Chain A
Amino acid sequence: MTALLELENLRKHFPVGRTGWPSKAAPSFVHAVDDVSLAVQPGETLGLVGESGCGKSTLVRLITRLLDVTGGKIWFNRRELAEVPARLFARDDDRAHIQMVFQDAGESINPRFTAADAIADPLRRLLGLRGAALRSRIEEAALQCGLPLELLGRFPHQLSGGQRARVGIARAIGTRPRLLILDEPTAALDVSVQVTVLKLLQTLKVDLGLSYIFVSHDLNVVRLLCDRVVVMYLGRIVETGPARAVFETPLHPYTRSLVAAVPRLDGPRPDAPRLVGDPRSPIDPDPNACRFYGRCPVGVARCGTEMPALRDFGGGRDVACHLAEGPG
């Protein structure tokens, strides 16, 4: 099976501080995404989790080609996209094939656009649809998302949170994308509505043959929707594997703390130390030290002198930790 999306050693470094002439000091860089390789298979949902500042959003903006990469490759549907400059990608044919559902549709939809306008915008710009063809595609997308057609004339503030979320999804699926990136699509919703939206996403994925990248820090939700999960810490992947296995027996100490911090309605929480303190600075990090070293509850001297590489633990699981041992 060929992957729909494959990232090879993707890197994104942002220059900071005194970078321009006449400074003689070497410029510093924020290592937002470092050496990230992953693949998304057709029909698969990949979860991307980690704390704020771990590089999730930068990675998403690289995949959606809103940012130029510093290094590495992005294979989408057997085509290399990293070499297309971000400013040209807006008119690229594959623009319509990679779409995004943003966090909190109430904030991300133009308040002066009706629901129909919001859904129409990418159809006009990317597919050049007009008139009856546009109208029918808008209605098709709305119906697929369970948005009653009589709501299409309303503005975002006249819609409920759940209806707004549906507009955001309809807008993204209108261009018939292959890959949908979901950035915390239910973070702004009450649990009562969240379930409906999650089930809608699950149905759409199957019906339309989509692949998802699901970005969230609500691990309970990630576990419900995702086949596989990638855990990031300070720009690097620290653990990846099938979602259920990763959450049931996390192998990386960071994943363990992350899973243990999730509030649970049922049963006792797994026993793991609290993560105290903040992540280290992402500016020019030591290339020979584990990024988690210093905050890690189990770190040893070796972690400060040798960057752990992702190791294969079988069952599709990879963990970047010197001290990790196989499950069970």
Chain B
Amino acid sequence: MMAPTTDVLRVEDLSVAFQTRGGLVRALDRVGFTVGAGQTMALVGESGSGKSVTAYAVMGLLETAGRVTGGRAFLGQTDLLATPPRTMARIRGRRIAMIFQNPRAALNPIRAVGKQIADVLLRHGGATRSNARDRAIEALRAVGIPDPARRAKAYPFELSGGMCQRVMIAIAVAARPDLLIADEPTTGLDVTTQAVVMDLIGAMARGSGMATILITHDLALAAERANRIAVMHAGHMVEEADTATLLARPRHPYTARLIAATPTAAGSLASLQSVPGGLPDLRQADRLHCRYAGRCERRQDACDAVLTMRPAAPGHAVACWNPL
């Protein structure tokens, strides 16, 4: 039995829609999950499944075409979705931080990295003008950058991809946030660098009890790094369980398909199976029923009913009318 942890983030029934020329796209439909202190929750799914939209909605960073149409996201006692933008600006960077993919593009290209860290420390970290520089160098040292005093003066183009991602991590954890959202933090990095960066994020989380949301399309990475995995498909959360259970006994047909498509260290090419079909068109009316039904070999008449997450076992929820 896992020790009870306090929930850092609790997302309930989060729905998001985008207004496009082709009509209203219901990108997220009633997504809910919790992340406990010191825990890592992985959001896994194909591109277009709504992983990043979930994070952006929680952060209050949706682009203008996007709108939260329902739900709540509690950071402690605060409902982030009902928080005015001005207050959100104080929460972002201080209590929630985010690491983006492609760190070199996410950093300011014309500002030395030490200054970019100092900016965050000045705004959110309680640093003063006199000690911001030293604290920035200290932050660089904490993420394992050699010769931090010299690197602080470097611009992003002078640093390798792995190095830039460490700078991003240093910026993200500068104000000791309660929650870190890592959106594909290692996509585009070498596997060796990926391992080091993920070790670093893990160490930071363990050191401060920070909760982490790891957004990734790589099920193997999630398997190795997360306590719990939530699988997303076309804006629905379809299954959520602790990592070992989800991988050993997936209940949703999509989860099982995803596992069967992921290359392993032992399997052959013939043993891998693709996931048939593609994501459905999300522009149609309310789409409250299963969005995987069109691709599913276990579809039956009952699948036309409104879909909700239901417990399959303690700590294991699945959104399927005919689970495995």
Contacts and interface: CB of A to CB of B under 8 A. Distances in A.
Contact of A220 (B46, B257, B265): B265
15 contacts: A190-B46, A190-B47, A191-B217, A191-B262, A220-B264, A224-B263, A247-B265, A261-B192, A261-B194, A261-B195, A263-B191, A263-B194, A265-B220, A278-B160, A278-B162
Nearest to A277: B146
B218 interface: yes
Interface string B193-222: 111100100000000000000000111110
Interface in A41-90: 51-52
Contact of A264 (B193, B199, B261, B264): B264
Given A190-B217, A264-B220, A267-B265, A196 B192 contact: no
Contact of A191 (B146, B261, B265, B269): B261
B59 interface: no
A193 B274 contact: yes
B161 A51 contact: no
Contacts of A257: 192
Interface string A261-272: 111111101000
A223 B47 CA distance: 24
B132 interface: no
Interface of B: 46-47, 144, 146, 160-163, 190-196, 199, 217-221, 223-225, 247, 257-259, 261-269, 272-275, 278
Given A190-B47, A220-B220, A269-B224, A51 B190 contact: yes
Contacts of B273: 195
Given A191-B262, A269-B224, A275-B196, 19 more contacts: A160-B278, A190-B217, A191-B263, A192-B275, A194-B261, A198-B269, A258-B191, A261-B195, A263-B220, A263-B223, A263-B224, A265-B262, A265-B265, A266-B264, A267-B265, A275-B192, A276-B144, A277-B146, A278-B162
Contact of A265 (B144, B196, B223): B223
Given A193-B274, A258-B192, A225 B218 contact: no
